[in-house]
Amino acid sequence: MADAVVKSDPTEALIASLAMPDATWAKPAREDALARVRTMGLPQRRDEYWKYTRPDTLTQIGAPKAAVLVMDEAPMFDEVDRLRIVFVDGVYDAEASDDLSLEGVTIERLAAASSDLHWATCVYGVLEARGQTPVARPLAAVNTAFATDGVLIHVTGKPNKPINLVYHHKSETSDAILHNCIKMDAGTEVTLLENGPAAARFNKVLEVEIADGAAFHHIRAQGRDHERRAATHIFSRLGAESEFHSFTMTVNGQLTRNDCVIELTGDDAIANVAGACVGDGDFHHDDTVFITHDAVNCRSRQVFKKVLRNGATGVFQGKILVKAGAQKTDGYQISQALLLDGDSQFLAKPELEIYADDVACSHGSTSGAIDEDALFYLRSRGVPEAEATNLLTLSFLAEAVEEISDEALREDMTVRLAAWLMRHRG
Amino acid sequence: MLSIKNLQVKLEDEDKQILKGVNLEVEAGKVHAIMGPNGSGKSTLSYVLSGKGGYEVTGGSAHLDDIDLLDLEPEERAAAGLFLAFQYPVEIPGVGNMTFLRTAVNAQRKARGEDEMSAAEFLKVVRAKAKDLKIDAEMLKRPVNVGFSGGEKKRNEILQMAMLEPKMCILDETDSGLDVDAMKLVADGVNALRSEGRGFLVITHYQRLLDHIKPDIVHIMADGRIVKTGGPELALEVENNGYADILAEVA
Ligand SMILES: Nc1ncnc2c1ncn2[C@@H]1O[C@H](COP(=O)(O)OP(=O)(O)OP(=O)(O)O)[C@@H](O)[C@H]1O
Ligand SMILES: [Mg+2]
């Protein structure tokens, strides 16, 4: 029976389990994405960029159960004057959200944006599609095809406060697919804050089109729920003299795969992507970054730090591709893990591929334990061992956290990381 | 104050005996100096007293007043009033010097059941003491010892000592790497702390430091033992003649 054959194919089975929303303007992009999914198939262990991370719980039909964490600390970014847009298990919460009007931006929800001549047509699924070569990212295409909601932000000026996407996880089996698009006009500037786990399992895509001279700032915290699973993608394309800054903090989470795909297409652009993650026990965190330099005199920085204990696993796959003609490229990449015991592991695959001759690229990857000499030095001054270990651990993470330019946000991240270390010591 | 009896120490991972029965009494209010050839065990003694790992005590004892030091964690020894100025101060990237100092001061206060120092009070005190040692504000902001010159690291050790006000201070070659002026600053810093209730054990190779910090007693250490003890004149003898005569005499 033909029917049975189709169902035994996991890709077709997953497709059959999902429903494509019928947003008029996004329909062609969704259909194209679906075709991409069919061509690529779902990620598998044998794929080059899935060697270190098992994709099965991300691709299976339905979310594996994830207990809901009862929060015992103040919400993130509480002190910041911001425009909040709240999603609960992937569903927009109008009551908890602020009014979506803000000077310098127009904000619409993906599920509510119905105009046929929508500006987002030139972003939605477009950057994702570009990011499928040379490395296939099927989960992102699944997202484009089936995303149920998200926000579409057109930045036309410099809004006076950040936009905050707040995600709550309330159901143990929620499975969310959210797609956010940002289109920045030339010379504009915006800050996007994201926090919380979007669901028991979530698949999120963020596409950011940055025109000449615009600056995008992104600070993300992925929540503290232990069992949640996440696959996220950021796709961004940068014009001349534009800037992209993204920082992600991950504490806990059974499985996290964060892909970041950046294309520097205009001269003198800057892209910085950083991450700090801390994991204890059943924790697998994978940062996969691909930065393409395709213009002159651009700078990119990747700074990733991981603190792992009790059998936690960290993965870093970072690539800098410098195309022919992308002269004066300055590419920097560092990925480091601090292993607080012998059970934890860090798997790193740093890559450089360079086709221009006048470039300065460097990459480094290390993993190691706490520096015993530094620990003794601190203890000899009276600092108790646990406190000294935490101080050294925070200082290890600091290099990534310092990528956040806003001092208050940097401090907030540091406080959260310190609190995690206090909860997970010894 | 510091009472070391027949202390024997070997390396933990190797069958190598380093201290072979050290006897030493430092009384409150006194300055004792230890001199001795390279590799004789001076730094090992200071490390073992402050609780560094990697060594195994195979015999003997070490007390600070009536506290058995060898029983305690390094941080407990510090809280009990022991301080070691390191021969090679450690660089700690990412931890600011100020944060380090404040954490240390408050950790010790807490361990002794005292109130923590307020941020404002701390700042005032640290600035004054740093000024005496010609440590500028910029150095206080930098990560601990990172990018400090040899002499700056040694001055930073003395600043820590001044902030922590320990009762027993061990200085391991604090003079090495110091220029003449810095030596004077460091000596002034030490002399300012000299008091009836405080003891010093100064490890050095050179008479010059002892010109500034006048010792009451000088010990010569060789091959893991104190082989000779005398007055300040013993340091002058070493300065003039080296160790050969002394070692021959005790052999
Ligand atoms: N952790 C260690 N591993 C191996 N050998 C060690 C260790 N610590 C000390 N030693 C050895 O013990 C001996 C004493 O060393 P120590 O550093 O105490 O000497 P010192 O008297 O301070 O010398 P210096 O005047 O050169 O500073 C040396 O032979 C040294 O190599
Ligand atoms: Mg020594």
Instruction: Compute, in angstroms, the gap from residue B181 CA to the centroid of ligand 1.
Output: 29
Closest residue on chain A to B75 (Cα): A382
- Judged by average pLDDT, the poorest of A57-66, A80-89, A355-364, B180-189 is B180-189
Tell the burial category of A94 from Cβ atoms under 10 Å away from its Cβ (0-12, 13-18, 19+): exposed
pLDDT level of residue A4 (50, 70, 90 thresholds)? very low
Tell me the average pLDDT across A126-149.
Answer: 97
pLDDT at B182 (0 to 100): 87
pLDDT greater at residue B137 or residue A383: A383
**A422 located within any domain:** no
One digit per residue, the tens of pLDDT, for chain B of length 251 reads: 999 999 999 999 999 999 999 999 999 999 999 999 999 999 999 999 999 999 999 999 999 999 999 999 999 999 999 999 999 999 998 899 999 999 999 999 999 899 999 989 999 999 999 988 888 888 898 999 999 988 899 999 999 999 999 999 999 999 988 888 889 888 998 999 999 999 999 999 988 899 999 999 999 999 999 999 999 999 999 988 889 888 888 77
**A121 located within any domain:** yes
pTM: 0.91
pLDDT at A384 over 70: yes
Tell me the average pLDDT across A261-266.
Answer: 98
pLDDT at A247 over 90: yes
Whether the CB of A426 is below 8 Å from some CB of chain B: the reply is no
**pLDDT single digits (tens) B197-213:** 999 999 999 888 999 99
**pLDDT single digits (tens) A95-110:** 999 999 999 999 999 9
Tell me the average pLDDT across A7-17.
Answer: 88
Instruction: Compute, in angstroms, the gap from residue B35 CA to the centroid of ligand 2.
Output: 10
Tell me the average pLDDT across A215-225.
Answer: 96
Angstroms from A194 CA to nearest CA on chain B: 27
Q: Which ligand is nearest to the CA of B34?
A: 1
* Domain span including residue A124: 26-369
End-to-end CA distance of chain B: 30
Q: Collect all residues of chain B within an 8 Å Cβ-Cβ radius of residue A382.
A: 75, 78-79, 104, 107-108, 111, 164
Considering just the CA atoms, what is the radius of gyration of chain A in Å?
21
pLDDT at A8 (0 to 100): 64
**Cβ-nearest to A380 among B50, B99, B144:** B50
**pLDDT single digits (tens) A27-56:** 999 999 999 999 999 999 999 999 999 999
> For ligand 1, what atom is nearest to the CA of residue B55?
1
pLDDT level of residue A426 (50, 70, 90 thresholds)? low
Q: Specify whether the CB–CB gap between A163 and A153 falls below 8 A.
A: yes
Ligand 1: residue whose CA is nearest its atom 4: B11
**A257 located within any domain:** yes
CA distance B230 to B249: 14
Question: Residue B99 and residue A382: Cβ atoms within 8 Å?
Answer: no
Question: Residue B51 and residue A380: Cβ atoms within 8 Å?
Answer: yes
**A425 located within any domain:** no
Query: Which residue type sits at B74?
Result: P
Ligand 1: residue whose CA is nearest its atom 28: B39
CA distance A138 to B188: 69
pLDDT level of residue A414 (50, 70, 90 thresholds)? very high
- List pocket residues of ligand 1, CB cut-off 6 Å: B 11, 18, 36, 38-44, 54, 87
Write down the ipTM of this complex.
0.96
Angstroms from A369 CA to nearest CA on chain B: 14
> For ligand 1, what atom is nearest to the CA of residue B37?
25
Question: Residue A383 and residue B95: Cβ atoms within 8 Å?
Answer: no
Instruction: Compute, in angstroms, the gap from residue B85 CA to the centroid of ligand 2.
Output: 11
**pLDDT single digits (tens) B35-69:** 999 999 999 999 999 999 999 999 999 999 999 99
Tokens of A141: 């295409």
pLDDT at A1 over 60: no
Tokens of B88: 């090679």
pLDDT level of residue A133 (50, 70, 90 thresholds)? very high
CA distance B74 to B94: 22
pLDDT at A7 (0 to 100): 47
3-class secondary structure per residue, B122-150: HHHHHHHHHHHCCCCHHHHHCEECCCCCH
Closest residue on chain B to A370 (Cα): B92
Ligand 1: residue whose CA is nearest its atom 24: B38
Question: Which residues does A325 contact at the CB level (< 8 Å), separation at least 6?
Answer: A294, A296, A356
**pLDDT single digits (tens) A179-214:** 999 999 999 999 999 999 999 999 999 999 999 999
Closest residue on chain B to A395 (Cα): B94
- Our measurement of the distance from residue A249's CA atom to the centroid of its chain's CA atoms, rounded to an integer in Å, reads 9
Tokens of A181: 């698009």
pLDDT level of residue A323 (50, 70, 90 thresholds)? very high
Q: What angle do CA A58, A59, A63 make, to 5 degrees?
A: 60
CA distance B52 to A119: 65
**Mutation probe of ligand 1 site: the residue of B34, B42, B226 with most atoms within 8 A of C-beta:** B42
pLDDT greater at residue A321 or residue B112: A321
Question: Residue B78 and residue A381: Cβ atoms within 8 Å?
Answer: yes
Q: Collect all residues of chain A within an 8 Å Cβ-Cβ radius of residue B164.
A: 381-382
Query: Which residue type sits at A300?
Result: S
Considering just the CA atoms, what is the radius of gyration of chain B in Å?
18
Count: domains in chain A: 1
**Cβ-nearest to A383 among B52, B75, B83:** B75
Q: What are phi and psi of B19, to 5 degrees?
A: -100, 130
Q: What is the DSSP string of B223-250?
A: TTEEEEEE-THHHHHHHHH-SHHHHHHH
pLDDT at B247 (0 to 100): 87
**A319 located within any domain:** yes
Question: Which residues does B12 contact at the CB level (< 8 Å), separation at least 6?
Answer: B53, B54, B55, B56
**A168 located within any domain:** yes
pLDDT at A265 (0 to 100): 98
Ligand 1: residue whose CA is nearest its atom 8: B44
Report how many Cβ contacts below 8 Å link chain A to chain B: 79
Catalogue the E-assigned strands of B100-222.
Answer: 143-144, 168-172, 199-203, 217-222
**Cβ-nearest to A380 among B84, B92, B143:** B84
**Mutation probe of ligand 1 site: the residue of B44, B176, B225 with most atoms within 8 A of C-beta:** B44
Q: Collect all residues of chain B within an 8 Å Cβ-Cβ radius of residue A383.
A: 75, 103-104, 107
Q: Collect all residues of chain A within an 8 Å Cβ-Cβ radius of residue B94.
A: 392, 394-396, 398-399
**Cβ-nearest to B103 among A372, A376, A383:** A383
> For ligand 1, what atom is nearest to the CA of residue B45?
18
Q: What is the largest CA-CA distance in chain B?
A: 57
Q: Collect all residues of chain B within an 8 Å Cβ-Cβ radius of residue A402.
A: none
Half-sphere exposure of B17 toward its Cβ, with a 13 Å CA cutoff?
11
**A394 located within any domain:** no
**Mutation probe of ligand 1 site: the residue of B9, B11, B50 with most atoms within 8 A of C-beta:** B11
Q: In what order do the strands lie in the sheet with A201-210?
A: A105-109, A151-155, A175-184, A201-210, A229-238, A255-264, A284-293, A313-322, A345-354
**A408 located within any domain:** no
Phi/psi region, residue B45 (left: phi>0; alpha: psi -120 to 50; beta: rest), is alpha
Question: Residue B107 and residue A377: Cβ atoms within 8 Å?
Answer: no
Q: Specify whether the CB–CB gap between B172 and B141 falls below 8 A.
A: no
Instruction: Compute, in angstroms, the gap from residue B172 CA to the centroid of ligand 2.
Output: 7
pLDDT at A82 over 80: yes
Q: Specify whether the CB–CB gap between A141 and A166 falls below 8 A.
A: no
Query: Which residue type sits at A157?
Result: G
Q: Collect all residues of chain A within an 8 Å Cβ-Cβ radius of residue B153.
A: none
Q: Specify whether the CB–CB gap between A404 and B98 falls below 8 A.
A: no
Q: Which secondary structure element, helix H or strand E, spans residue B110, and what is its range?
A: helix B97-111
Tokens of A198: 């979007």
Q: Collect all residues of chain B within an 8 Å Cβ-Cβ radius of residue A374.
A: 90-92
Question: Which residues does B168 contact at the CB level (< 8 Å), separation at least 6?
Answer: B1, B2, B26, B64, B81, B82, B83, B198, B199, B200, B201
Instruction: Compute, in angstroms, the gap from residue A363 CA to the centroid of ligand 2.
Output: 37
Closest residue on chain B to A377 (Cα): B90
pLDDT level of residue A389 (50, 70, 90 thresholds)? very high
Question: Which residues does A172 contact at the CB level (< 8 Å), separation at least 6?
Answer: A65, A66, A67, A68, A200
Q: What angle do CA A197, A347, A46 make, to 5 degrees?
A: 85
Name the DSSP class of B191: H
Question: Which residues does B159 contact at the CB level (< 8 Å), separation at least 6?
Answer: B101, B126, B129, B130, B133, B135, B189
Half-sphere exposure of B221 toward its Cβ, with a 13 Å CA cutoff?
28
- Our measurement of the distance from residue A292's CA atom to the centroid of its chain's CA atoms, rounded to an integer in Å, reads 17
Tokens of A288: 């996969």
For the domain with range B2-250, which CATH number is right: 3.30.465.10, 3.10.290.10, 3.40.50.300, 3.30.70.260?
3.40.50.300
